[in-house]
Chain A
Amino acid sequence: MYRLEPQAREWIDRSTVLRFLFEDAPCEGYAGDTLSSALAASRPYFARSFKYHRPRGVLSCANHDSNALFQVDGIPNVRGDVTLLREGMHVAAVNTFGGLARDRARILDRFARFLPVGFYYKAFHSKRWFPRWERMFRAITGLGSVTLSAERRTTPKRYGFCDVLVIGGGPSGLAAALAAAEAGARVTVVDEAHRLGGASVLNDAERQAFDSLLRAVQASARIAVLSATAAVGCYADRWVALAEPERLTKMRAQAVVFATGVIEQPAVFRNNDLPGVMLASGAWRLAERYGVAPGRSVVMVGANSEAYSVCRDLAARGVRIAAIVDLRAASAAGPGTAGAGADDRGAGGACADAAACASLGIPILKGFAPCEAFAGRDGRVCALAVAPIDEIGRGGAAAGSPRRIECDAVLMSVGFAPAGQLLLQAGAGAAFCAELQQFVPLDLPAGLFAAGRVNGVYEFAARLADGRRAGAQAAAHAGFGAGSAASIERSTRRPSHPFPIFGHPAGKNFVDFDEDLQVKDLENAAQEGFDSSELLKRFSTVGMGPSQGKHSHMNALRILARVRRVRVEELGLTTFRPMYHPVPLKLLAGRGFNIERRTPLDGRHRALGAVWMPAGNWRRPEYYAVEGESREQSIEAEVEAVRTTVGLIDVSTLGKIELYGPQAGAFLDRAYAGSYANLRVGTTRYGLMLDESGVIIDDGVIARLGAERFYFTTTTGGSASVFRELSRLNALWGLDCALVNVTGHRAAFNFAGPASREILQSLTDVDLGEASFPYLAAREGSIAGVGARVLRVGFVGELGYEIHVPASGAARLWQALYEAGRPRGLRPFGVEAQRVLRLEKGHLIVGQDTDGLTDPFEAGARWAVSMKKPFFVGQRSLKILESRGPRQKLTGIEVLDAARVPKECHLVIDRGAIAGRVTSVARSRTLGKTIGLAMLAPPLAEPGSEIRIRAEGGEMLAARVVAVPFYDPDNLRQRAGLAA
């Protein structure tokens, strides 16, 4: 290949030379070049294949060249045919061991016959050895290499919205965009190339028409253009993933036009993969955009009028065409058979191109086909052997001696496959049109429209018309304009040859360039019984390489159809799944996003030395670190403060719900296990929530603040799910009440300890006297100037007040309580001290001491269940469970050796079998014991019985079952504030 004189419309800027390194050798290109065009202009070949490590060059230059993948500046598998050249790039070929020219694995090409399709399934199925072979194959194959030390490349994601999304910026796509915009729709056009223009070969008149279309698109205020952007997935309700170079756009469109065009397909003959053998449209793109000629002596293998158009175009650029080998016979036959001449029907331009080629003196061999290409010393193609097509038998042996044409490039223009993968993903069907030898879309889902060559519309004027039709219909679907009554006018010629595949006894006639699959590989796979399109794909891996079958799927179907002696349309397509095109993982990777909630007092905790722990999605102080104290000492001191004077804990993380309405009490009676309709105003009651199977799912304190007004708490972890389920129950039952989730609106503290009443009384006018504000009462009033709801609770087993205030007043009240309590020895306490305190009282924590199977009878919470009520969630199941008796019981335990502390979830072993587990355990300094809760089999659960706990390292610890509460069994301290 070589550079031509400057071309009229080339995309490169020859005044700016860019220098880069290809495998450490200095190379040059121009600004606007792609890696492939710069390398193609200067080197015989620049890549090697995946399996046999054969030299490879340019194929399509249309974003689908799976052999032109490079390692660029540490990034693997960069596509050479679309990646723009930059100054100073360091580029290397993938699939080589020791560089492109000296690749040590090129020897594999000579062993090809020992590596037939599926060889690894047959040869390496020993379980013992497979991991070793797997590692070896991973090393030999495998595209680019990932640099694990590479920096993280984060790219943004965004949402996009438009009325009509047009995928494809060729003639039909732009016509569709204009038509939709004219109807009033906001339109976005995406194209995977850097510039709009599409992939088809245009003559001068067509280019001028296209340019005026492009100017109109650029002038339209309603049309946005995203170039270098691939539409890679089409999901439900017209949600399309757009992969831009450095961004992912999640585009929601009211209607989508798929003007995705067609992908040119290779002819299959021996050595059709040699560097220099390429698609005709690819050669045209190289010449038109980058001023690179495919060769100095070019042979065209054609089967359609596009072959002549390209030859005429290249000849006009000064490229010598050595011959045109036309697969079609001179005498016209009917469509659907090899050698049909039906192509040129009704296509005057195409006839003109053929006549022009003939008048230029280009030899035209009608009814000939390629037998074999030959490689020269530089690895590139140096000659093509051709023979009359009917003389090439099925086995590939030519009857007569083939004619040899010396050349340095072979172009293939034998047919196209629709780029309909996205449409099929989106739910469209496909019908095989035998006249066109192409699948065309069928039964498009609502809001999806196809236009142009993907529809089988090939002539330029017809493509514009089809684009306008689809654009108008899409706009109408989105609510703009009256649509279009036009129908799709498919081409009457046949752009694709029905079987451009030619056997050869020596093989190496490649169907899939990604995976180096030859014709015989597919034939063998089919003959071994993998003879449906899906099975053939999986066994042979055809279409499973980086180009996902864009150049191989159609030919593989044709081979399979011939082996099975059926028509292509009887086979059906394989399922197409996202992504349509390989997408860098950086575009898909999400950012780390973990919600962490902080209470309004977070800053106070930090100032007090809080050591944090996660609780649900909150962060809470585990304890407050004090200089000179260990963690254990701090926790013990916090416990002691609560037991002897007063402590303060932030419980703002509790779920907090308000409930209003005449039937609020009835609602709680149905939703919770206890009775609430009879709760007196100004009192509280424990609330236990069950699911339909009778399992405990949450608990909290329910306060009645008024006749039709309740306020209640849920666990920290359950706040969102409990509120959601209560909302659902309210919607289901339709009672006259309403719920409000005030979890974030309100803060709460537990102010507990023998001195709590006295200190709190100094800050409020609410009478805290035992008679006027007894245990389990609830009052509203002002504390230190902050409006508060105060609940008299006993969770930690001391006189205590749970104070709920608006979040805005939380810091002020906390500070007031802290300062009032400090002279008396107040300590703020964290979650860990609270766990010890409540354990000393034997109070369970839902989710820690209960699990997904624990019912109230097992948890010792029968007292919180009112079975006499007509209905509550879980009641019917509890009736069944009650009659059966518990399978396990939550009991208090005391480890006999007080110095030993087992861990939560350690198992209780009885006569060699698991008989329970420890659910909570702590060293209680108050009691001088190691105490805990355990879920035990009923026979072990009687107070006094001895159990054995399997602790760490298999050590068995002896423990005794004891009654709870461990501390203040008569609850005198929390009820009356008396010393026990």
Chain B
Amino acid sequence: MKIMICPLNGARPVSEFVYGGEVRHAPEPARCSDAEWSDYVFNRSGSPGIKYEWWCHIASGFWFIALRDTARDVVLATYPADKARELAPVDPRS
């Protein structure tokens, strides 16, 4: 079983975590076309590579970001969830 380094809890077995999908950049709802929005909602890239992903430590309910090489299944780094806003800025209007 793999070990995941949680930014809050340290090294824990991966069975204590759930995967929450790739960190993706939502197009701005007010400006994008219907087609662009549908593409964002329904299409995911399954191609292997180095990706930022959402992971949650179940026991503590802590969400964070992991940088993972999905081709080799190696977690290269983990970050607090602030990283997600850095990667995909949230619409500032609300």
Q: Which A residues contact B (CB, under 8 angstroms)?
A: 235-237, 239, 250, 252, 666, 669-670, 692-693, 723-724, 727-728, 731-734, 741, 869-871, 875-877, 880
Which of A236, A693, A876 contacts B29, CB < 8 Å?
A: A876
Q: Are B85 and A876 in contact (CB under 8 A)?
A: no
Q: Mark B25-53, 1 if CB is under 8 A from A, else 0.
A: 00001001010011011100000000000
Q: Are B41 and A692 in contact (CB under 8 A)?
A: yes
Q: Are B2 and A237 in contact (CB under 8 A)?
A: yes
Q: Mark B1-28, 1 if CB is under 8 A from A, else 0.
A: 1110000000000000010100000000
Q: Are A880 and B63 in contact (CB under 8 A)?
A: no
4 tightest A-B contacts by CB?
A731-B81, A876-B29, A731-B63, A236-B2
Q: Which residue of A lies closest to B27 (CB)?
A: A876
Q: Are A236 and B73 in contact (CB under 8 A)?
A: yes
Report Cα–Cα, A724/B40, bound state, in Å: 22
Q: Are B37 and A870 in contact (CB under 8 A)?
A: no
Q: Are A877 and B41 in contact (CB under 8 A)?
A: yes
Report Cα–Cα, A693/B34, bound state, in Å: 12
Which of A252, A669, A724, A734 contacts B18, CB < 8 Å?
A: A724
Report Cα–Cα, A870/B81, bound state, in Å: 24
Shortest Cβ distance from A573 into chain B, in angstroms? Answer: 20
Report Cα–Cα, A252/B15, bound state, in Å: 14
Point out the residues of chain A lying under 8 angstroms from B85, CB to CB.
Answer: 732, 734
Shortest Cβ distance from B42 into chain A, in angstroms? Answer: 7
Q: Are A880 and B56 in contact (CB under 8 A)?
A: no
Report Cα–Cα, A979/B36, bound state, in Å: 53
Point out the residues of chain B lying under 8 angstroms from A237, CB to CB.
Answer: 1-3
Q: Are A732 and B90 in contact (CB under 8 A)?
A: yes
Q: Which residue of B lies closest to A693 (CB)?
A: B41
Q: Which residue of A lies closest to B3 (CB)?
A: A237
Cross-chain pairs A/B with CB under 8 angstroms, 30 sampled: A235-B1, A237-B1, A237-B2, A237-B3, A239-B2, A670-B94, A692-B40, A693-B42, A723-B61, A724-B56, A727-B61, A728-B20, A728-B81, A731-B63, A731-B64, A731-B81, A732-B63, A732-B81, A733-B90, A734-B82, A734-B90, A869-B94, A870-B93, A871-B91, A871-B93, A871-B94, A875-B29, A876-B29, A876-B32, A880-B34
Report Cα–Cα, A880/B36, bound state, in Å: 12
Q: Are A666 and B94 in contact (CB under 8 A)?
A: yes
Q: Which residue of A lies closest to B2 (CB)?
A: A236
Shortest Cβ distance from A240 into chain B, in angstroms? Answer: 11
Q: Which residue of A lies closest to B61 (CB)?
A: A727
Report Cα–Cα, A741/B73, bound state, in Å: 32
Point out the residues of chain B lying under 8 angstroms from A727, CB to CB.
Answer: 56, 61, 63
Q: Are A880 and B37 in contact (CB under 8 A)?
A: yes
Interface status of B66 (Cβ within 8 A of chain A): no
Report Cα–Cα, A235/B29, bound state, in Å: 44
Q: Which residue of B lies closest to A730 (CB)?
A: B63
Point out the residues of chain B lying under 8 angstroms from A880, CB to CB.
Answer: 34, 37-38
Which of B38, B42, B63, B91 contacts A728, CB < 8 Å?
A: B63
Report Cα–Cα, A798/B56, bound state, in Å: 41
Shortest Cβ distance from A194 into chain B, in angstroms? Answer: 29
Report Cα–Cα, A731/B90, bound state, in Å: 11
Report Cα–Cα, A237/B54, bound state, in Å: 21
Report Cα–Cα, A669/B32, bound state, in Å: 22
Q: Which residue of B lies closest to A870 (CB)?
A: B94
Report Cα–Cα, A666/B93, bound state, in Å: 11
Point out the residues of chain A lying under 8 angstroms from B34, CB to CB.
Answer: 880
Q: Mark B66-91, 1 if CB is under 8 A from A, else 0.
A: 00000001000000011011000011
Point out the residues of chain B lying under 8 angstroms from A741, CB to CB.
Answer: 61
Point out the residues of chain A lying under 8 angstroms from B40, CB to CB.
Answer: 692
Could you say which of A239, A693, A732, A869 has the most chain B C-beta atoms within 10 Å of its C-beta? A732
Report Cα–Cα, A250/B2, bound state, in Å: 12
Point out the residues of chain A lying under 8 angstroms from B73, CB to CB.
Answer: 236
Point out the residues of chain A lying under 8 angstroms from B61, CB to CB.
Answer: 723-724, 727, 741
Q: Which residue of B lies closest to A883 (CB)?
A: B34
Which of A239, A734, A871 contacts B1, CB < 8 Å?
A: A239
Report Cα–Cα, A693/B84, bound state, in Å: 21
